[in-house]
Amino acid sequence: MLQTRQSRDGGKRKSPSFLVAIGGGATNSLQPAPLRKWFSMARNALPEYAPAAACICVRPELMAQSKSGTIIAQLMRQPQPPQFHSLARDGMSKAWPELVPEFGAPEMVYVQLEEFEAEGFPYQAAVEVHQDMAKRHQWAEALSRALHLLTRSESECSLRTIFGLLLHAAGKCQAAKVRALQMIFQHCTPHLLPALPSEEAEGSLTDGRKRIQAATEEFLDEEKDRAFTTYLEEPTEMCLEAMGQDSLDVNVHGANTHLAVLASTLAVRLPREPDLEDESKGLAPFLDFEFADGSLEILQRPENFGKKFGAVAECREPSIRSGPGLWDTKSWLQRGGCAKDSARKAASSCKSAAPMRAKAKAYVEPFAQVFTARRFLPRLLSYLTSDEIDLGQDLNTELQALLNGAESDAFHGPPLGPVTPEEAASCQQFLWSASDTTRPQFQLGRAIKLFQSIGIVKSSDQMIDSESGCQCDGSAPSSLPNPERDSVKRRRIGKQGAK
Query: What amino acid occupies position 266?
Result: L
Band of residue 377 on the pLDDT scale cut at 50, 70, 90: very high
Pairing of strands 12-16, 2-6: antiparallel
**What number is the average pLDDT over the span 124-145?**
88
**What number is the average pLDDT over the span 43-52?**
90
Q: Please tell me what DSSP assigns to residue 195.
A: P
pLDDT above 90 covers a percentage of the chain that reads 60
**Smallest Cα–Cα separation from 277: which of 177, 368, 366, 367?**
177
- Ordered DSSP codes for 411-450: GSSTTT----HHHHH-HHHHHEE--SSS--EE-HHHHHHH
444-454 and 373-384 are packed helices; what angle lies between their axes, rounded to 10 degrees?
A: 70
Q: Please calculate the CA angle 495-497-499 and round it to the nearest 5 degrees.
A: 75
Torsional class of 9: left (φ above 0), alpha (ψ -120 to 50), beta (otherwise): alpha
Give residue 426's pLDDT.
94
Contacts from 155-159 at CB under 8 Å and sequence distance 24+?
156/94, 156/95, 156/96, 156/97, 158/187, 159/91, 159/94, 159/95
In sequence order, the 6+-apart residues with CB closer than 8 A to the CB of 390 are 7, 13, 15
**What number is the average pLDDT over the span 316-329?**
86
pLDDT tops 70 at residue 191: yes
Q: Residue 380 in 3-state DSSP?
A: helix
What's the whole-number average pLDDT of the chain?
A: 83
Which tens digits make up the pLDDT trace of 379-426?
Answer: 999 999 999 999 999 999 999 999 987 555 556 554 566 888 999 999
Please state, in angstroms and rounded to a whole number, the distance separating the CA atoms of residues 45 and 32. 20
Give residue 478's pLDDT.
38
Q: Residue 76 in 3-state DSSP?
A: coil
**Smallest Cα–Cα separation from 282: which of 237, 329, 235?**
329
Q: Please tell me what DSSP assigns to residue 294.
A: G
Residue 471: beta bridge partners?
464
Q: Residue 331 in 3-state DSSP?
A: strand
Residue 118: beta bridge partners?
113
Q: Please tell me what DSSP assigns to residue 285.
A: -
In what helix (H) or strand (E) does residue 140 lie, and over which residues does it extend?
A: helix 137-153
Residues 310/315/320/324 CA torsion (nearest 10 deg): -70
pLDDT above 70 covers a percentage of the chain that reads 80
Least confident of 95-109, 248-262, 332-346, 461-475: 461-475
Which tens digits make up the pLDDT trace of 192-247?
Answer: 876 666 655 455 678 899 999 989 998 999 999 999 999 999 999 999 999 999 99
- Ordered DSSP codes for 348-363: --SGGGHHHHHHHHHH
Give residue 271's pLDDT.
86
**What number is the average pLDDT over the span 117-144?**
90
Give residue 437's pLDDT.
59
**What number is the average pLDDT over the span 51-70?**
90
